[in-house]
Amino acid sequence: MSNLKCLWLAGAFALTAGAASAQDTIKLGVLHSLSGTMAISETTLKDTMLMLIAEQNAKGGLLGKQLEAVVVDPASDWPLFAEKARELLTVSNVDVMFGCWTSVSRKSVLPVIEELNGLLFYPVQYEGEESSRNVFYTGAAPNQQAIPATDYFLDELGVEKFALLGTDYVYPRTTNNILKAYLMGKGIPEADIFVNYTPFGHSDWSKIVSDVKALGADGKKVGVISTINGDANIGFYKELAAAGISADDIPVVAFSVGEEELSGLDTSNLVGHLAAWNYFQSAEGEANAEFIAKWKAFAGESRVTNDPMEAHVIGFNMWVKAVEAAGTTDVDAVRTAMYGIEVPNLTGGVAKMLPNHHLTKPVLIGEIRADGQFDIISQTDPVPGDAWTDFLPESAVLESDWAALDCGMYNTQTKTCVQVKSNY
């Protein structure tokens, strides 16, 4: 027993000693899972951050100091995210954190960073309905991904009947709720919206695919909006291909399928199906070509780039600009300096940080190519991210404005701030 105790104490000493030294650097916490189920997606983001930090240091650092990355591994374990965030803020004393992927991990971290007034850049497309004082959302809100993709279905493909297929968790649930309200507002009757939820990693898709096929029985054009997550997509697309459903018959637009997911299957049968993101590796432009080249040099020739990576690039560049503008890394000063900051995004155009902590981003729709990349067939003007959707009655009255109102959940009807802390 006592030996064990010594071990713990030694650990504790080591931790505090580590914090005391190295005051002459600016510390950035990187809070991405390096093991467990989410490691595949998040490790790439950790590498992106390390690359960006190294690059900034090569440019001479920030405010005359070098940047130092503090990398921790929350191991895809949601409670551990909160624990590691607390450790980063109180033990390692980081000035800013870049991290999280799933909504659950973000919701786990929220109370900690709001309590300790930390700063988090969250790089993944998400379901919205949130705006925390301490989080900058550099991924897409639903109106920057789901709504434009649905418009594309309605206007360009003439889809009249919708199958909303998703993995059973919060992002698909909320997104589908928003889409359902949106579609009904567009005159699509409820009976023409089929919704299905499957577990994570689902593999037996035959019944669902034949259900979708049967939707065509009333002569309306059917389209699938997929929020199916991760490797469950592989079985789904394989079954689609086997059933001989081509993109011209029943188009599928996916919100969680990117370059990485496609590398797990043979895409020759999937040509023409769609994905909506704010970034594709195949985007043409100098900024993107330069970034891809740097990434391949840093991480390896076979690596692909994807949307959340771009979000981290934008987030990091914005934070650097804001720190330079504020002249300090103090969270409140940086936060105030963030609003209105503009940095170029990789697909051309500029991203601007809005007072609701979301970005303006262009929405890109890509068709799957046989080589696993995407042909960009539609690109919108930058769309400002909306924290609270306009298509659900409870959220339509809410607004987030941290600059003027200092509130992330402001009820425009009663003209009151519902709550300053966020909803977790």
Partner 1 sequence: MRATFAALLAAMFLLLPMAAQAQTAADILAENRDLVEKSSRQTIGPVIAALTASGDPQALTLLAAWADRGLGLRKSDGAFFLIAPDPDGYALKSPDGTEAGTAARSEIVELRPNAGVRGLIATALVEFQLSDPDRRQREAALVSVARDPSAAHLVPLRASIPAESDPALKAQKQRLERLLTLRFDADSAARVAAIQSFAGDLGLDLRGALNPLLATTYSVGTGTLPDGANVARTLRPGSDLTMDEAYALLVAADLAPARLSRTELKAALAANIVDGAVAGIPLTQLDTPQARDRAYDALEAAGAVPAAATDAEVVAAVAAHRFHAIHAEPDPAVTTAATEVLEGIELKLAAMQATDLALDALSLASIYFLAAIGLAITFGVMRVINMAHGEFIMLGAYTGYVVQLYISNYTLSILIALPLAFAVTFAAGVVMERLVIRHLYKRPLETLLATFGISIALQQLAKNIFGTQARPLTAPSWLDGALVFNDIVGISYIRIAIFVLALAFLGFFLWLMKRTRLGLEVRAVTQNPTMAASMGINPDRINMLTFGLGSGIAGIAGVAIGLFAKVTSELGSDYIVQSFMTVVVGGVGNIWGALAGALMIGTLQKGIEWLNPSNTLAAQTYMILFIILFIQFRPRGIIALKGRAAGD
Partner 2 sequence: MTRTFLSRNPSVLWFLLALALFTLAITLMSEAYGSALVSTSFVKTLGKTLCLCLVALAMDLVWGYAGILSLGHMAFFALGGYMIGMWLMYARTEGIVVAALANEVLPATAEEIRQGIASQIFGVVGASELPPIWAFAHSLPLQLMLVVAVPGVLALVFGWLAFRSRVTGVYLSILTQAMTLAAALYLFQNDSGLRGNNGLSGLQNLPGLDQIPQADLSIWFFWASAAALALVYVGLAWIVSGKFGSVIRAIRDDEQRVRFLGYSVEGYKLFVFTLTAVIAAIAGALYYPQAGIINPAELAPIASIYLAVWVAIGGRGRLYGAVIGAAFVSLLSSWFTGGRAPSVNLGVYTVNWVDWWQILLGLSFVLVTLFAPKGIGGLFDLVQGLRHPNRHGTALGPDDGALMEKEAVE
Residues that bind partner 1 (CB under 8 A): 37, 39-40, 152, 155-158, 168, 194-199, 201-204, 206-208, 210-211, 213-214, 216-220, 231, 234-235, 238-239, 241-244, 247-249, 251, 260-261, 263-266, 269, 272, 367, 375, 377-378
Q: Which residues pair with 136 in a beta bridge?
A: 121
Site for partner 2 in 184-223 (CB under 8 A): 197, 199-200
Measured from the CB atom, the residue of 132 and 360 that comes closer to partner 2 is 132
* Cα 3 from chain centre: 45
Amino acid at 361: K
Q: Does 82 bind partner 2 (CB under 8 A)?
A: yes
Judged by CB under 8 A, which of 44, 131, 138, 177 binds partner 2? Answer: 177
Measured from the CB atom, the residue of 180 and 357 that comes closer to partner 1 is 180
C-alpha distances (whole Å) from 238 to each of 115, 203, 206 are 46, 10, 10
Measured from the CB atom, the residue of 279 and 388 that comes closer to partner 2 is 388
Q: Does 399 bind partner 2 (CB under 8 A)?
A: no
Residue 144 CB, nearest approach to partner 1 (Å): 17
* DSSP helix/strand/coil, 277: strand
Choose one: 150-158, 169-177, 291-299, 308-316; the region binding partner 2 (CB under 8 A).
169-177
Judged by CB under 8 A, which of 40, 50, 104, 333 binds partner 2? Answer: 104
Q: How far apart are the first and last CA of the chain?
A: 39
Q: Does 174 bind partner 2 (CB under 8 A)?
A: yes
Distinct helix (H) and strand (E) counts, the chain? 13, 19
Residue 343 CB, nearest approach to partner 1 (Å): 26
Residue 83 CB, nearest approach to partner 2 (Å): 6
Judged by CB under 8 A, which of 395, 399, 407, 408 binds partner 2? Answer: 395
Residue 375 binds which entry of partner 2, partner 1, none, with Cβ cut-offs from 5 to 8 Å by kind? partner 1
Q: Does 15 bind partner 2 (CB under 8 A)?
A: yes
Q: CB within 8 A of 191, min separation 6: which ones?
A: none
Residue 325 binds which entry of partner 1, partner 2, none, with Cβ cut-offs from 5 to 8 Å by kind? none
Report H helices in 259-355: 259-262, 286-299, 307-326, 331-338
Q: CB within 8 A of 231, min separation 6: which ones?
A: 201, 261, 264
The sign one gets for the Cα dihedral 284, 286, 287, 289 is positive
Torsions phi, psi of 96, nearest 5?
-155, 155
Measured from the CB atom, the residue of 169 and 339 that comes closer to partner 1 is 169
Q: Does 179 bind partner 2 (CB under 8 A)?
A: no
Q: Does 293 bind partner 2 (CB under 8 A)?
A: no
Q: Does 107 bind partner 2 (CB under 8 A)?
A: yes
Q: How many CA atoms lie within 13 A of 411 on its CB side?
A: 9
Site for partner 2 in 125-144 (CB under 8 A): 129
- The C-alpha atoms of residue 193 and residue 180 are separated, in whole angstroms, by 7
- Tokens 């029985």 belong to 217
Q: Contact 134/408 with Cβ under 8 angstroms?
A: no
Judged by CB under 8 A, which of 22, 63, 115, 340 binds partner 2? Answer: 115
Residue 148 CB, nearest approach to partner 1 (Å): 13
Q: Contact 245/216 with Cβ under 8 angstroms?
A: no
Measured from the CB atom, the residue of 13 and 412 that comes closer to partner 2 is 13
Retrieve residue 347's tokens: 């697909």
Residue 163 CB, nearest approach to partner 2 (Å): 18
Q: Contact 85/119 with Cβ under 8 angstroms?
A: no
- Tokens 């519902």 belong to 418
Q: Does 327 bind partner 2 (CB under 8 A)?
A: no
- Tokens 């940086």 belong to 334
- The C-alpha atoms of residue 113 and residue 77 are separated, in whole angstroms, by 18
Interaction site with partner 2 (CB under 8 A): 1-2, 4-5, 8-9, 11-16, 34-35, 71-73, 75, 77-79, 82-83, 86-87, 90-91, 103-104, 107-108, 110-112, 115, 129, 168-170, 173-174, 176-177, 197, 199-200, 394-395, 411, 414, 416-419, 421, 423-424
